[in-house]
Amino acid sequence: MIEVKNVYFTYPNGVEALKGVSLTIKDGEFVAIMGQNGAGKTTLVKHFNGLLKPTKGIVLVDGVDTRKVSVATLARKVGFVFQNPDHQLFSETVEDEISFALKNFRFEAETINKRVDWALNLLGLTRYKKTSPFMLSGGERKRVALASVLAWNPKILILDEPTIGQDYQQKEKLRHFILQLNAQKKTVIIVTHDVEFVAECNPRVILMSNGEIIADGEARKILTDPKIVTEASIVPPQITQIFIKLKNYGFPRDILDIYEAREAILNSLRKGFK
């Protein structure tokens, strides 16, 4: 469980990135933190594994104050996949890359081998085991970065902008994968401004603007509320926009994905035929 209590954070250059943020993320939750660039999303999640310590206020991870333990200790529990895989890849082979963290956490050699194979298989990278990560494509490098974090099986997984630079098919795979992890009782936190992606996952949405949380709740409620969405300077999913414009014709407003849209249209057609 992550508890954030009235946290303020100011960068050394004087930028106040968080202004009194409070929230609780329970075990097994699936949360999307959204908001425009510079809203404080990444700053907030960097507090969850202790990379940043609050200037004021307190962050507790499973009851432990993040100011009192090292990042490495917290990282064992909280896996963080950075936005750009090139900021972490450095090994000669994909295998070495994935075992890097496991060695840091002092796993035994045998366990390391097993975990590496497991993670490679999970993300469909087994054939690249002995390849240099620098030879892979952008999407593949992103998967290696993800595998290198999943390998130590952290309880909480943070993904910073996981959909950037991924084609549609990869995004679909990623979505299924995240939902699968979440079904296995893992806490998943994604930082993103990809509304379409979030709409299809329907997680709890935390909307940030200017270092503050302006809305917190179900994706359906938040992404279909034009007022809140405008305040955070994001745009509702396209399908939602259509239905917001059609509300005068008796269509429901809170449509998030095409399956719901199909139902709503069929319903009204049936009514029309009568």
Partner 1 sequence: MSVFDGLKFRKVKSPIHDLDPRVKFIYVCVIFAIALIFWELIPLLILFLIQLPFVLLGKVQRQWLRSLRGAAFLAIIIFVTNFVFSFIGAGYRFTAESLESAFALTFRFVVLVESFSIFFLTTSPDNLSLALEQTRVPYEFCFAFTTAVRFVPVLANEAQTIMDAQKARGLELERGNFLKRIKNYIPILIPLIVSAIRRSLELAEAMESRAWGATKNRTNLYVLRMNKNDFILLAITTGILITAVYIRLFIPIPSVCELLEI
Q: Between residues 52 and 198, which has the closer beta carbon with respect to partner 1?
A: 52
| Residue with smaller CB distance to partner 1, 160 or 196 | 160
- Tokens standing for 185? 């009782």
Residue 70 Cβ, how far from partner 1 at the closest point, in Å?
7
Alpha-helical (H) ranges within the chain are 41-46, 71-75, 94-104, 109-122, 138-150, 168-183, 195-201, 219-223, 226-231, 238-245, 258-273
Among 8, 82, 118, 177, binds partner 1 (CB under 8 A): 82
Task: Name residue 31's beta-bridge partners.
Answer: 189, 204
> Which of residues 13, 37, 137, 184 is near partner 1 by CB under 8 A?
13
3-state SS string over 167-187?
CHHHHHHHHHHHHHHHHCCCE
| Cβ proximity of 58 and 65 under 8 Å | yes
Adjacency order of strands within the sheet including 212-218? 78-81, 156-160, 187-191, 30-34, 204-209, 212-218
- For 4: left if phi > 0, alpha if psi spans -120 to 50, otherwise beta; the answer is beta
Over its C-alpha atoms, the chain yields an Rg (Å, rounded) of: 20
How many Cβ atoms sit within 10 Å of the Cβ of residue 152?
A: 21
Least distance from C-beta 20 to partner 1, angstroms? Answer: 24
Figure out which of the listed residues 65, 69, 134, 226 binds partner 1, where binding follows CB under 8 A: 134
Q: Considering beta carbons, is residue 141 or 236 the nearer one to partner 1?
A: 141
Please report whether residue 111 would count as binding partner 1 according to CB under 8 A.
no
Considering only residues 213 to 242 of the shown chain, the ones binding partner 1 according to CB under 8 A are none
Among 4, 59, 89, 228, binds partner 1 (CB under 8 A): 89
Beta bridge partners of 65: 60
Select from 28-36, 100-108, 169-177, 246-254 the region that touches partner 1 (CB under 8 A): 100-108
Helices 238-245 and 258-273 cross at an angle (nearest 10°) of 30
79: contact with partner 1 by CB under 8 A: yes
142 binds partner 1 (CB under 8 A): no
Minimum CB distance to partner 1 smaller for 4 or for 74: 74
Q: Shortest distance, CB of residue 100 to partner 1, whole angstroms?
A: 6
Q: Which is nearer to partner 1, 143 or 228 (CB)?
A: 143
70 binds partner 1 (CB under 8 A): yes
Contacting residues toward partner 1, per CB under 8 A: 12-13, 46, 49, 51, 70-72, 75-76, 79-80, 82, 84, 86-90, 100-101, 104-105, 134, 148-149, 152
